Amino acid sequence: MTGSAQTPHGRTAVVTGGGSGLGRAVSLALLGAGWSVALAGRRKDALQETIALADVDPARVLAVPTDIRQPEEVAALFDAVRDRFGRVDLLFNNAGAAAPRRPITETPFEDWNRVLDTIVTGGFLCAREAFRVMSAQSPQGGRIINNGAPSAHVPRPNSIAYTAAKHAVLGLTKVLSLDGRAYGIAVGQIDVGNVTPVDGGPQPAAMQADGTMAVEATIPVERFTEAVLLMASMPPDTNVQSLTVLPTTMPYIGRG
């Protein structure tokens, strides 16, 4: 974020779900780009694994075990970040949850609750605390990047909870972008398609709109982290409202 305040630790980011997957990849990319990063997630050991992979000055990284579904834990997360780094310049609202794809009549209430609580309620709670910090710090402002998905716009079959949650993220992004203007808070959303599995395993087949199964194209995770870094590097007066990154041949428009 060119033009944002520099703390003794540089620009500071909070990444939820920082112990694995895309959250880990973005945390490592931000640290590699010179940011200080606070990693949040439920598993302390996974957060420490990310830190070990980064191999950076310990003063630039902080692990805060957090269940983002719990308001008091999210408040404690942002208090810890402010105490350590002085301010928050970026929130990557990333933590998510998935459920097995089933018809709605076979979707357990517990799956619905877990997915919505993590993606929607967790995203709201983290954004609320980020707003509180960013609106009160000096210089005022910051940036929030919400991790959406193509399912925020077009669903896959048998994905009622995940699709509803990602559509809600899109709504959160829009209203936060509007409400953030008064405080110099830029809010945007990144929607990423199929990323090559980070564990090196094969890409699983996905159900198509016509009910058939197909293995779709993927992109390396670096294409995703490059896009996040692009959004994060914009000056405070510039917002990337929406950015979709996906393999050129991946079914998306009309899921065809």
In tens, the pLDDT along 14-68 reads 999 999 999 999 999 999 999 999 999 999 999 999 999 999 999 999 999 999 9
Above 50 in pLDDT, residue 166? yes
Tell me how crowded residue 41 is: count the other CB atoms within 10 A of its CB. Answer: 26
CA distances from 120 to 51, 107, 167 (A): 27, 18, 9
Q: Could you report the per-residue pLDDT of 66-111, keeping only the tens digit for each? A: 999 999 999 999 999 999 999 999 999 999 999 999 999 999 999 9
Is 162 annotated as catalytic? yes
* % the chain with pLDDT above 90: 91
- Model pLDDT, residue 250: 95
**Active-site position among 162, 165, 225, 251:** 162
Question: For residue 3, what pLDDT is reported?
Answer: 38
Q: Check residue 208 and give its pLDDT.
A: 92
Is residue 53 within 8 A of residue 28, CB to CB? The reply is yes
pLDDT at 4 over 50: no
Domain ranges of the chain: 12-255
Which region, left, alpha or beta, applies to residue 125 given φ > 0 means left and ψ of -120 to 50 means alpha?
alpha
The predicted pLDDT at position 7 comes to 54
Average pLDDT for the chain: 94
pLDDT at 6 over 50: no
Q: What is the pLDDT of residues 226-254, one digit of tens each?
A: 999 999 999 999 999 999 999 999 999 87
For domain 12-255, give the fold.
Rossmann fold (3.40.50)
